[in-house]
Amino acid sequence: MINEVVSEKGCIDILVNNAAGNFIAPAVSLTPNGWKAVIDIVLNGSYYCSHFAGKTMIKHGRGKILNIIATYAWTGNAGTIHSASAKAGVLAMTRTLAVEWARYGIRVNAIAPGPVDTEGARQQLWAVPHAYEFIKNKVPIKRFGREEEVADAAVYLCSDQADYINGEVLVIDAGLWLNQMMFDLDAIEALMKDKSHKKGDS
């Protein structure tokens, strides 16, 4: 693939490692084949593409690599040990290559999208209405992300305007990963209203 692109275009300016595999499975139920399939697609695939594209980028003295990860690369997430582990590996790879390859004019960054209601995600991750509503309501702005919002961030990080950004992860999830509260905001507001009402009565 890399050789074909170089043969036709002369060089590779941008590589986006966007291939992924994921499905919900408790760790105790995950088969070795299930584990291997996701690790091969997400972690190994990102490394192989970066490795071979990186060689030609080094030769030409420039290049931009963008990896797609997920916030559970650093938080973990029940039911996705295979994907979380693979994404954590890609995160480490992003930062390592950013340091190693900056001297060759290559920037390596990542984006971590939150839930985006694509057809594939809908089938694999929130196929039942309860799951869909639960995830949507966990997002502070109460909606799923849009594909173009992720694409806009990717375009920015691969543009000249981001030439001083290297080894970073841009989170695009409307604050979802920060929303790990012990208490529910609606419940807190209801409690405060109830206390205010009782104080007024007294």
**Is 86 within 8 Å of 36 (Cβ atoms)?**
no
At a CB cut-off of 8 Å and minimum separation 6, what does 38 contact?
21, 22, 82, 83, 86
Q: Is 47 a known active-site residue?
A: no
Kindly name the residue from 48, 72, 104, 132 that is annotated as catalytic. Answer: 72
Tokens 């002369």 correspond to 10
Query: What's the CA gap between 111 and 113, in Å, rounded?
Result: 6
Q: Bridge-partner residues for 64, per DSSP?
A: 14, 107
Give helix 81-101 / helix 32-39 axis angle, nearest 10°. Answer: 30
Which residues have a catalytic role annotated?
Answer: 72
